[in-house]
Structure 1
Amino acid sequence: MKDIFNTATLCHTAGNPTAAKAAFRVLSEQDFANACDEIMAWDGYTPTPLVSLDGLADQLGVARIDYKHEGARFGLGSFKALGGSYAALRVLQRQLTTQLGRDASLEEIRSGEHREACAKITLVSATDGNHGRSLAWGCQRFGAPCRIYIHAEVSEGRAEAMRNLGADVIRIDGDYDASVILAKTEAEENGWFVVSDTSWDGYTEPPRDVMAGYGVMTREVCETLEQPPTHVFLQGGVGGLAASVAAGLRQYYKDISPRVVIVEPELAACLFDSAKSGKPTTFEIAEETIMAGLSCGEPSEMAWSILTEEAADFLTIPDSIVAPTVRLLANGETGDHVVEAGESAVAGLAALIAARQDPALSDTLGLDANSRVLLIGSEGVTDPAIFEAIMAGADHV
């Protein structure tokens, strides 16, 4: 294994897993079932592959590694296609039900029956890229105007992808958290509707729908695996992906649900700091991480309520091991199936590789020759220019 993984410094703090009631209360089994029924009925739905990385598992001395590759999801390049578009549909349903004085079904909206009314309902969100692309795609399909707020470090390639889906893209000078505040403020001033993947006081329905939409991915995993994983390494961000997957696995596997390990950039470690302090904690981002989709300084309160019960471990990783992990997958360096992944997709894999070079950390995480590790490859190549630079040898983009 490359020296970069041997010398990488990972920081660890322990979680405090409890009775795991939030995995059933905050996101119910019915929430997941409703989202799965709807999304699996969409044109173009097909399960994404669960790739077995047997060669890498052998090198790392674990029983198996399964990588859920979301690059092909609805042609949008990431798992976010499941969340933002479904949440948009649910926001439109709630508004149309109020306007019509009767229940407006998801199928009616999806089929275009209310397209004229949807054209008067503007949906907005802040994004690092993938959530905004999903929202823009959903708005385009359902006929609603879409405004997306991005921060200074979001690549122009990702911005253009959202414009190509009909979104009005507004770039600000600040960071992701500043773009969230501006989206909320302008929505309140103009009567628009925020479709966010993070929750705050008084705002819970769209983030719950976003996380419920991600449940499609977890169901596909559970129905494919012959044995439950012993570990799942989940990238952080605001926590929505991690909380959804952790809850879905808990609901499916009950008492034999895998050990949940949360992985974040050391440059954006809001969940790690929350675990250390025992409450949702804001992280001051001073420098942007290469993992653009994980550059989030403030955790989702709803997601945290699940993670504080489910997560056993929190890790931070340096940016230095991200590009080498992207190249390892894309070049098939371990003899496994070639996977072209984005920077944020490989956080869990990078952490696993580095952790296995450190016997003490492996022991802390309970990793050994019997471990079966699940990884969520959350995105494919969502910015070709960045991917090409990484493949050409760049470690910072």
Structure 2
Amino acid sequence: MLILNRHTGHNGPLDPRDAETLGVGAAAEVERYLSHRNNHAPTPLHALPALAAGLGIATLHVKDEGTRLGLGSFKALGGSYAVIRLVLEEAERQLGRPVDVAELHTPPVRAIASGMTFGCATDGNHGKSVAAGARLVGAQSAIFVHAGVSDERVAAIARYGAEMIRVDGTYDDSIRESARVCAANGWTIVSDTSWPGYERIPGLVMQGYTAIIREALRALPQAPTHVFVQAGVGGVAAALAAYLALVLGKERPAFIVVEPARAACIFASAQAGEVVKIAHGEATVMAMLECYEPSPVAWRILSRAADAFMTVEEEGAVAAMNRLARPLGTDIAVVAGESGGAGLAGLLAVAEDHDMRQAIRLDAGSRVLIVNTEGATDPERYTQLVGVAPEMVLRTAI
């Protein structure tokens, strides 16, 4: 199901706060911070010409975040970046002077970080990023997970030294509990969603994501005409849409936001013209996208910079995982987790539907960019859904 953006602010200028947070200068600063990470390298951009031909488009490229900073997903860019920024800001406050990222591992800064605890709620990937960032700087972390987060994902976060706190209910319940406990204990909450009075830190998380599109635009032979990006609360979609709007202006590509049909809170907000919280229903296989209320900051951006909103079904997400694992022709194999291939699932659905193709002007000349937002962050689940272990898929890609 696909709808066009009919919001009155569509194609209007971004809020000045968002333009400052997600523009060229901020993105360049993110890359400077990343240059101080020992395991940083731009993630691959893969061309899939055989799949593009089969879909009746000119080109298809996938930005593969499955290797980002050794954490397996794009979330590695957001939570850990925000933690580093917040530690440096606290160091500046306590030391009474400017403190650069080059000083991150100096004894004075690490002593300050050791007295800080960072908390967040997560479906898996964001919590891993916050925990990894805390360990990197010598701080503590407390990660809140809801009932639907698998034991394997919990264990993957705990390996970074985080205190793991189980919360009954949904992701939204874990957000509320994390905010309550962090406030009570004086911990710093690093959420990837916003709420009234709490926007700056989610903005820093989103700022980290600009590295994805900055790297992609640098590597692409031509700017894309269409971009399909999946959304949970909307952070990564908003970050990429904002950067494209700010950098390319009227030449920006059509931007399509893709969500699970079972957790389509941004789609519902687009229908209503304002932030909508939807009812919790049956769980989706796209576990990292199972969110029931958008981030207000993300919606503020997407209402202006997104062009269409669509939903995909469960079988579509699994089909996308399998399509990437078993490529056509000489296309490279890509390991995409359950949520990682949702953008491709959206493209596949549009490509097969004449009306949807026409609605977003997808044709034989279209140059499409998608983002594989995660690798096999739950290898056992990946193997169940694809029928082959992720390491075997990666061997075929070499």
> Residues 265-280 of structure 1: matches in 2 within 5 Å?
265-280=260-275
> Residues 318-337 of structure 1: matches in 2 within 5 Å?
318-333=313-328, 335-337=330-332
Secondary structure of the structure 1 residue equivalent to 2:341:
helix
Aligned to 2:375: 380
Instruction: Sort the Cα spacing of 1:131 and 1:368 in 2 relative to 1 into closer, same or farther, 3 A.
Output: same
Confirm or deny: 8 A CA contact 1:32 1:213 kept in the other structure. yes
Aligned to 2:11: 18
Unaligned segments of structure 2, at least 5 residues: 389-398
Q: 1:317-341: per-residue Cα shift (whole Å, max 9, x none)?
A: 1112111211111122454100011
Deviation of 1:236 after TM superposition, in Å, equals 1.1
> Residues 150-299 of structure 1: matches in 2 within 5 Å?
150-299=145-294
The total of aligned residue pairs comes to 384
Confirm or deny: 8 A CA contact 1:228 1:253 kept in the other structure. no
**Matches of 2:247 and 2:11, distance apart in 1:** 17
Q: 1:180-230: per-residue Cα shift (whole Å, max 9, x none)?
A: 000000011110000111111111221111111111111110101121111
Corresponding position: 1:35 with 2:30: yes
**Matches of 1:29 and 1:354, distance apart in 2:** 33
**Matches of 2:256 and 2:14, distance apart in 1:** 18
Query: What's the TM-score, normalizing by structure 1?
Result: 0.93
Q: 1:233-275: per-residue Cα shift (whole Å, max 9, x none)?
A: 1101111100111112222222211011010001111111111
Secondary structure of the structure 2 residue equivalent to 1:289:
coil
Unaligned segments of structure 1, at least 5 residues: 1-9
Aligned to 1:355: 350
**Worse-matched range after superposition: 88-97 or 225-234:** 88-97
Kindly provide the amino acid, as one letter, of the partner of residue 12 in structure 1.
Answer: I
Corresponding position: 1:121 with 2:116: yes
Confirm or deny: 8 A CA contact 2:23 2:247 kept in the other structure. no
Kindly provide the amino acid, as one letter, of the partner of residue 194 in structure 2.
Answer: S
Aligned to 1:342: 337
Q: 1:30-53: per-residue Cα shift (whole Å, max 9, x none)?
A: 222221211133111111111111
Instruction: Sort the Cα spacing of 1:74 and 1:275 in 2 relative to 1 into closer, same or farther, 3 A.
Output: same
**Worse-matched range after superposition: 279-288 or 125-134:** 279-288
Confirm or deny: 8 A CA contact 2:36 2:101 kept in the other structure. no
Aligned to 1:86: 81
Deviation of 1:97 after TM superposition, in Å, equals 2.4
Confirm or deny: 8 A CA contact 1:284 1:297 kept in the other structure. yes
Percent of aligned pairs sharing the same letter: 40
Aligned to 1:6: none
Of 127, 136, 156, 2:131 maps to 136
Kindly provide the amino acid, as one letter, of the partner of residue 13 in structure 2.
Answer: A
**Matches of 1:114 and 1:311, distance apart in 2:** 40
Aligned to 2:64: 69
Confirm or deny: 8 A CA contact 2:2 2:308 kept in the other structure. no
**Matches of 1:384 and 1:27, distance apart in 2:** 33
Secondary structure of the structure 2 residue equivalent to 1:349:
helix
Deviation of 1:94 after TM superposition, in Å, equals 2.4
**Matches of 2:107 and 2:209, distance apart in 1:** 24
Kindly provide the amino acid, as one letter, of the partner of residue 12 in structure 2.
Answer: A
Q: Which has the higher contact order (CA 8 A, sep 6+)?
A: 1
**Matches of 1:334 and 1:281, distance apart in 2:** 43
**Matches of 1:278 and 1:106, distance apart in 2:** 40
Secondary structure of the structure 2 residue equivalent to 1:73:
helix
Runs of 4+ displaced beyond 6 Å: none
**Worse-matched range after superposition: 143-152 or 38-47:** 38-47
Kindly provide the amino acid, as one letter, of the partner of residue 200 in structure 1.
Answer: W
Confirm or deny: 8 A CA contact 2:275 2:294 kept in the other structure. yes
Deviation of 1:15 after TM superposition, in Å, equals 4.1
**Worse-matched range after superposition: 231-240 or 324-333:** 324-333
Coordinate RMSD, CA, aligned: 1.5
Secondary structure of the structure 1 residue equivalent to 2:119:
strand
Deviation of 1:76 after TM superposition, in Å, equals 0.6
